[in-house]
Structure 1
Amino acid sequence: MSFKRIISIASVVIIIGVSIYAYIMYQKVFSVNTKFSESEVAVYIPTGSDFNKVKELVAPYVEDMDRFEMVAEKKKYPQNVKYGKFILTNGMNSNDIINALRWPVPVKLSFNNQETLQNAVGRIAQQIEPDSLSLLQAFTDKTFLEENGFNEDNVLSIFIPNTYEFFWNTSATKVRDKLIKEYRKFWTPERVAKAEAQGLTPLQVSALAAIVHKETVKNDERPRVAGVYLNRLHKGIKLEADPTVIYSIKKQSGDFDQVIKRVFFKDLVIDSPYNTYKYEGLPPGPIAMPDVTAIDAVLNPEKHNYIYFCASVTNFGYHEFAVTPAQHEVNRQKYVAWVEKMGIKR
């Protein structure tokens, strides 16, 4: 066999070998390597994780871990692990998966209707990496509170219910700093001016809005309820708001999970600065996280002469309003009779 013939055969063999190797590599890198039925799945990689931890987290979604590891090594991913939330799409190949794990996506963080700071941070901790303890420590840090004009009684005012974008592994202090920035943004000069027109500061608006929020779930009624409380404040009359009594009971017992549907006369004397039957003016802080409709109701109250209101027994969910004690007593007796008929004990 001639030398040229040998060279030709060797060249063909090499080309075939290279082609086979290229095909194998192509298969390893670019063939589908997912094994979940959903259109996409989220993978959460905690701060400080190494490549072994990443492999553990993605294993339920990857068909061939050897292919995944080979591509990861080729792309030097083990030396550059990223932390956060990542989205894997059904049908991804190993190359796609590694690329996806390099780009964390934000989470939509939301909260509302929380009665305490502890509940608020607990709700947030369910959605991002920092735990509730680290969040609680961030929001009650003395330096933070002093520098921003808050205290532990009114710090819940910072939380304006909405949906916010955060990266999943955002630190507790950065979450806090973002929310205080959003709070400042919410309190525009226009809103501050409206608060001042009512003789209130933004923090006082939040405290009153929390009561309005608890009194009625009807957004269209909130400006009227807010008007009642502002009338009482301006006349120097105690607010006498049942939700503040309920909050006082929960706070003293330490049980905010209890359901209290009825307030009795014996409850009205509970000695708590939040009890507006016992103490004049606003409570030291919000008794819940008021939503924006309640805040704006205080800033844009209905103008009227009502001083009293009581739950309606004919238009459920709404209230009957009164100017005089006699009118209010008629409405109150109707409500008491309905409560007794329904057998509501607490």
Structure 2
Amino acid sequence: MIKKIIILLTVLLVLFIGGSTYYIVNSMKAVNPGAIDNDVDFTVNEGEFLYSVLAKLEEKDLLRNPWIYKIYNRTVRELNVKKGFYRLSSASTGLEILSVLEEGKQELLRLTIPEGMRASQIALLLEEKGITSSAAFMAAVNDSELMESLHIPADSAEGYLFPDTYYFQKDFPPQKVLEYMVATYFRNLDSIFPFYVDLSDEKLQEKLILASIIEKEYRVEEEAALIASVFNNRMKIGMPLQSCATVIYVITEEQGKEHPERIFFRDLEIPSAFNTYLNNDLPPAPISNPGITALSAAFNPAQTDYLFFVVKDSMLGTHTFTSNLADHNTARHSYIQGFRSK
């Protein structure tokens, strides 16, 4: 009788151990094995406890039965997850997911800044991507002490935020974001005009302001240097630049209005230091953050006698360049006639 009881207990123990082992192993498998394109964004906060992290992983269907990992943490080895932003997959096992959190290999957020964006627009894009807050970034942009440390000859980083594709961690320090963009600007400037270091701060800033206007004026890359030559020739004889891009800047940035579909004559008379229809000088600061084409044009303009340019084909973005007002008016009239006949 005792022998039968021992055998029965042994069988039950084996079944219990086997069942428990199966349950534990099955619980530690991937929640959704073989899944494709099911990445989940996941954040471990500063000072967050393991148990809280496990609960969040279960909520996001990234692992089953978090209590198993609590036992694992106590009996096998301690799990030390690191703060950060991660992209995890439910096709990974629980231990694979926890291994990622322990290694701290964070997911980087991709940010592409188009040419010609203003700092305020970049700030909104950064906040939208979850990289840093718009307000914090703009505070860094206008931090005069930070500008001095970065060798920027201005009180603002407007114009020095180079348009490119960047990769940042979530909640990245705004000052560091700005430093990366400014470093990229100077690296690209060195590639197109290595002698920029010999320029005075004033001349360097003038070139950047000019590039920021060219950026908003050209559409065909081959014309950027020609547009630069027009502006340079005008400045040499004290002629206003008369750039519509600066008027649009006044309307959108200074007046806070939406981008106009067209500019009226009354807009050309808006009093502002940025309005190059009213002022012979360059604007006091860049109106955009120019890319490599506009920068190259500003530092290496074409050598021409052009003083005017007008749209030739609005679809292609091409212009007609002329050296005198009579030819300019002819080209302008030709465009208007062609536009009306469409």
1:137 aligns with 2:166: no
Give the TM-score taking structure 2 as reference length: 0.82
Could you say if the C-alpha distance between residues 263 and 297 of structure 1 is closer, same or farther in structure 2, counting changes exceeding 3 Å?
Answer: farther
Distance 1:305 1:210 in 2: 22
1:301 aligns with 2:301: yes
Residue range with higher mean Cα deviation, 81-90 or 321-330: 81-90
Give the equivalent residue in structure 2 for 1:62.
Answer: 61
Distance 1:314 1:33 in 2: 55
Count of matched residue positions in the alignment of Structure 1 and Structure 2: 336
Give the equivalent residue in structure 2 for 1:240.
Answer: 242
Could you say if the C-alpha distance between residues 63 and 305 of structure 1 is closer, same or farther in structure 2, counting changes exceeding 3 Å?
Answer: closer
1:32 aligns with 2:33: no
Query: In the TM superposition, what is the alpha-carbon distance from 1:189 to its structure 2 partner?
Result: 6.7
Query: In the TM superposition, what is the alpha-carbon distance from 1:321 to its structure 2 partner?
Result: 0.7
What does the per-residue CA deviation read over 1:153-192, in whole Å, with 9 as the maximum and x for residues that have no partner?
x522221111112111322222223223323323327524
Q: Is contact 1:72–1:98 with CA below 8 Å preserved after alignment?
A: no
Give the equivalent residue in structure 2 for 1:218.
Answer: 220
Structure 2 alignment gaps of length 5 or more:
none
Give the equivalent residue in structure 2 for 1:170.
Answer: 172
SS of the residue corresponding to residue 86 of structure 2 reads: strand
Q: Is contact 1:195–1:299 with CA below 8 Å preserved after alignment?
A: no
Distance 2:321 2:197 in 1: 24
SS of the residue corresponding to residue 126 of structure 1 reads: helix
Distance 1:170 1:73 in 2: 34
What does the per-residue CA deviation read over 1:54-110, in whole Å, with 9 as the maximum and x for residues that have no partner?
457544541664x24532663479974433331222422221222233331212122
Distance 2:8 2:161 in 1: 76
Query: In the TM superposition, what is the alpha-carbon distance from 1:291 to its structure 2 partner?
Result: 2.0
Distance 2:215 2:330 in 1: 25
Query: In the TM superposition, what is the alpha-carbon distance from 1:35 to its structure 2 partner?
Result: 8.6
Q: Is contact 2:109–2:131 with CA below 8 Å preserved after alignment?
A: no
Residue range with higher mean Cα deviation, 43-52 or 318-327: 43-52
Give the equivalent residue in structure 2 for 1:330.
Answer: 330
Q: Is contact 2:132–2:172 with CA below 8 Å preserved after alignment?
A: yes
Distance 2:78 2:250 in 1: 54
The correspondence for 2:163, drawn from 147, 161, 164, is: 161
Could you say if the C-alpha distance between residues 260 and 63 of structure 1 is closer, same or farther in structure 2, counting changes exceeding 3 Å?
Answer: closer
Q: Is contact 1:44–1:85 with CA below 8 Å preserved after alignment?
A: yes
SS of the residue corresponding to residue 62 of structure 1 reads: coil
Distance 2:56 2:232 in 1: 55
Query: In the TM superposition, what is the alpha-carbon distance from 1:26 to its structure 2 partner?
Result: 1.6
Give the equivalent residue in structure 2 for 1:262.
Answer: 263
Could you say if the C-alpha distance between residues 194 and 174 of structure 1 is closer, same or farther in structure 2, counting changes exceeding 3 Å?
Answer: closer
Q: Is contact 1:226–1:301 with CA below 8 Å preserved after alignment?
A: yes
* Identity across the alignment (%): 21
Distance 1:181 1:2 in 2: 82
Could you say if the C-alpha distance between residues 101 and 210 of structure 1 is closer, same or farther in structure 2, counting changes exceeding 3 Å?
Answer: same
Give the equivalent residue in structure 1 for 2:121.
Answer: 119
Structure 1 alignment gaps of length 5 or more:
none
Whichever residue aligns with residue 39 of structure 2, its letter is V
Distance 2:179 2:30 in 1: 42
Could you say if the C-alpha distance between residues 47 and 28 of structure 1 is closer, same or farther in structure 2, counting changes exceeding 3 Å?
Answer: closer
Whichever residue aligns with residue 186 of structure 2, its letter is R
Whichever residue aligns with residue 43 of structure 2, its letter is I
Could you say if the C-alpha distance between residues 303 and 279 of structure 1 is closer, same or farther in structure 2, counting changes exceeding 3 Å?
Answer: same
The correspondence for 2:152, drawn from 149, 152, 159, is: 149
Distance 1:259 1:73 in 2: 63
Query: In the TM superposition, what is the alpha-carbon distance from 1:122 to its structure 2 partner?
Result: 0.9
Could you say if the C-alpha distance between residues 305 and 81 of structure 1 is closer, same or farther in structure 2, counting changes exceeding 3 Å?
Answer: same
SS of the residue corresponding to residue 158 of structure 1 reads: coil
Give the equivalent residue in structure 2 for 1:21.
Answer: 20
Query: In the TM superposition, what is the alpha-carbon distance from 1:34 to its structure 2 partner?
Result: 3.5
Give the equivalent residue in structure 1 for 2:98.
Answer: 98
Query: In the TM superposition, what is the alpha-carbon distance from 1:259 to its structure 2 partner?
Result: 2.2
Could you say if the C-alpha distance between residues 226 and 168 of structure 1 is closer, same or farther in structure 2, counting changes exceeding 3 Å?
Answer: same
